[in-house]
Chains A and B, each alone.
Chain A
Amino acid sequence: MAFFFWKKMRREGQKHSVERHVFNSKKRKEKMMRTQHAMLFIVMISFMALAAAPAWAHFGAVIPSDDIVVQDDDKNLNVQIKFIHPLEGHYMEMVKPRQFGVMHDGQKTDLLGTLQPARGNGPDQNKAFTFWTTDYQIRRPGDYTFFVEPEPYWEPAEDCFIVHYTKVCVNALGLEQGWDDHVGLETEIIPFTRPYGLWTGNLFTGQVLHKGKPVPFAEVEVEYLNDSPGNISVVLPPADPYVTQVVKADANGVFSYAMPKAGWWGFAALIEADWKREHDGREKGVEIGAVYWVHTRDMK
């Protein structure tokens, strides 16, 4: 897309070279050249960023087909569980999780047995990877928090395992209770903003917990799901820092982020686990992540 923009700029440059003789041509030409160079620079940076395989952030993701179920809606939810780079769209191979369930009205229900494997890949991946899906029937009113504990994922680039404890909340039938309940995972984000009914631009606030206690100054990565349903303008990051943003929690483990686009947003607070795991006969560190997903909509 950026390539076509660049070509357009060149054409404009040629158009202006005719007018050169009529107006204050020298200044115009210089300005056009600068603009062309700027565009070219941006295009090159984007291509370099994409080609150079930078450290795209891994995110555990749990995405439901609907996050607010009203009476006339289809009460059957389809939930997808994946391990991906949300902005870039790349999938990583995900084996069947260790734990998957839903919490509603204070009760946890094990749904691991309902998971079906599926295959998916990003737009520029040449092979497919495994992810997981399930169908869940909503019956009673209230908030439903789906949660997953994946099997540790070995990441050779970081020489460690990764386990993202991921949650998402679906509201059903007008009863807004349960969204801030603790599931009791090793590490989790507790939403301080009701995590549904959010507009683009709203502030999402959450608290990072590890073994039930707040994590002071936790580092939280934020990334947008580029293939959010309804997203017609794919986000092209102008530079690496735009792919995964970072916010730091305060002394109480509380962080905030204002979401600038409609779609799904993931928040991942990453900490080092106090346990190790073996890989090829050697003890390796484990990065555990508390991940939370919310959906925003443009205000119209």
Chain B
Amino acid sequence: MKIIKYVLIAAVVVLLGGETALAHRVNLFAYAEGGKIYTESYFSDGKPVEGGKVLVYDGENELLLEGVTDKEGFFNFDIPKIDDLNIVINAAMGHKNRFKLKKSEVEAGE
């Protein structure tokens, strides 16, 4: 009886506190081409990050737009502003990363 009690407590603790630790880091890669910004979010083993939140900030850290990555880890959008862009990926369980696009690169992709 005591053992079962402890096992149940342990199970509850695990279920409540346990987070699926992502084994791999989340990465984001972005480039500007043909008037659009293309972003790709991926794990180190190449698997796409699906359903990740993407936030796009300008050079003054103002939020310009946000979106969600699709099944292939892509989130593309029209160039919102010719400026330094700080693109942040916010995946599950607090896994974040960012990619910085320089103003010159954004301009070149217009």
Dominant secondary structure of chain B at its interface with chain A: strand
From B4-12, B40-48, B52-60, B76-84, give the one contacting chain A: B40-48
Interface string of A135-147 (1 = CB under 8 A from B): 0000111000000
Determine which of B27, B45, B100 lies in contact with A141 in the assembled complex, contact meaning CB atoms within 8 Å: B27
From A169-177, A205-213, A256-264, A276-284, give the one contacting chain B: A169-177
Interface residue A107 (Cβ < 8 Å from any Cβ of B): no
Bound-state CA distance A163–B40 (Å) is 41
Interface residue A233 (Cβ < 8 Å from any Cβ of B): no
B95 — which chain A residues lie within 8 A by C-beta? Answer: none
- Category for how many chain A residues contact B: under 10
Contact B29 A173 (CB under 8 A): yes
Bound-state CA distance A273–B44 (Å) is 38
A71-B99, A71-B100 are contacts. A176–B27 as well, Cβ < 8 Å? no
Contact A175 B99 (CB under 8 A): no
Bound-state CA distance A53–B31 (Å) is 54
Determine which of B27, B45, B46, B100 lies in contact with A173 in the assembled complex, contact meaning CB atoms within 8 Å: B27
Determine which of B29, B45, B99 lies in contact with A177 in the assembled complex, contact meaning CB atoms within 8 Å: B45
Dominant secondary structure of chain A at its interface with chain B: loop
Task: Output the nearest chain B residue to A178 by Cβ-Cβ distance.
Answer: B46
Contact A140 B29 (CB under 8 A): yes
Interface residue B25 (Cβ < 8 Å from any Cβ of A): yes
B42 — which chain A residues lie within 8 A by C-beta? Answer: 141, 174-175
Contact A176 B44 (CB under 8 A): yes
Task: Output the nearest chain A residue to B31 by Cβ-Cβ distance.
Answer: A139
CB distance from A175 to the nearest CB of B (A): 6
Bound-state CA distance A139–B99 (Å) is 13
CB distance from A162 to the nearest CB of B (A): 37
Task: Output the nearest chain B residue to A142 by Cβ-Cβ distance.
Answer: B46
Task: Output the nearest chain A residue to B44 by Cβ-Cβ distance.
Answer: A176
Please, could you name 24 A-B residue pairs with CB atoms under 8 Å apart, sorted by A?
A71-B99, A71-B100, A139-B31, A140-B29, A141-B27, A141-B29, A141-B40, A141-B42, A173-B27, A173-B29, A174-B25, A174-B27, A174-B42, A174-B44, A175-B27, A175-B29, A175-B42, A175-B44, A175-B46, A176-B44, A176-B45, A176-B46, A177-B45, A177-B46
Given contacts A175-B44, A176-B45, A177-B45, 16 further A-B contacts (CB under 8 A): A71-B99, A71-B100, A140-B29, A141-B29, A141-B40, A141-B42, A173-B27, A173-B29, A174-B25, A174-B44, A175-B27, A175-B29, A175-B42, A175-B46, A176-B44, A177-B46
Q: Which 9 A-B pairs have the closest CB atoms?
A: A174-B27, A177-B46, A176-B44, A141-B29, A174-B44, A173-B29, A175-B42, A174-B25, A175-B46
Q: Which residues of B contact A (CB under 8 A)?
A: 25, 27, 29, 31, 40, 42, 44-46, 99-100
